[in-house]
Amino acid sequence: MRPQVVAHRGASHDNAEHTLRAYVAALDDGADGVECDVRLTADGHLVCVHDRDLRRTAGSRGVVSTMELAELDELDFASWKNPWADLDDEAPVRDDRLDRVLTLSTLLETVADYDRRVEVAIETKHPTRYGGLVERRLVEQLRRLGWDRPGAPVRVMSFSWTALQRVERLAPDLQLVQLLDRARQWPMLSQVVGPGWVVGPGIETLTEHHKLGKRIRKTGHDMHVWT
């Protein structure tokens, strides 16, 4: 079986993570799938941002969940990746729209319109002040594309098993991935993960605990390993 190439936060080695530019580059480079993290804004939009606050990726002290989409759209999410770009006289003119905050709806529409099947792995970030609203908004967006049905090119991931249970109640046919980053979490998680769920240990955890993978597979669960 040929390994899948999944673009983590887009083609984030050469482009600012979670920007539309990073995802378009990944698609054009032939990635089999893309991965994103989602958070909910104060006015109810799911945006692709990893961190709780914006210091690292937008140079702002703002917190995603306390800001509205229009406020986030005013920020620069790309310059941190290449702060000297404006000084390069020979650099091509960039479309700034590709470097703004990216909504999940825009990412999903971009992938859906592509000329081949591309898998999408979506991680919901927790804890959150909005509780289950994150999962409800996510399922609503997937349902609009018909991606809540069997065979849809999407999987929903989280370190929160209660979040995944909420998704399962809303959309029983979605593929779910229970993430874990410590081997000692598995005995407890093994009691709560659904029978059809995939288990997602980190590669470092598997490297440090060689028997963990076998213990997971013995329970009948497939694995989704993350880096």
Decide if 221 is catalytic. no
Token representation of residue 80: 């941190």
Residues 176 and 156: beta-carbon distance below 8 Å: yes
> In 3D, which of 220, 38, 30, 194 has the Cα closest to residue 119?
30
Among the listed residues 13, 18, 45, 50, the single catalytic one is 50
Task: Note whether 145 and 118 are within 8 A (CB).
Answer: no
* H or E element, residue 158: strand 154-158
* Calpha distance 148→222 (Å, rounded): 20
- Annotation marks residue 50 as catalytic: yes
Distance from C-alpha of 129 to C-alpha of 5, rounded to nearest angstrom: 33
Q: What is the 3-state secondary structure (H, E, C) of 29-72?
A: CCCCEEEEEEEECCCCCEEECCCCECHHHHCCCCEHHHCCHHHH
Give the integer Cα–Cα distance in Å for 209 and 217.
Answer: 14
Exposure of 145 in the CB half-sphere (CA atoms within 13 A): 23
* DSSP string of 75-94, one letter each residue: S-SSTTT-TTGGG-TTSPPP
**What residues are labeled active site?**
8, 50
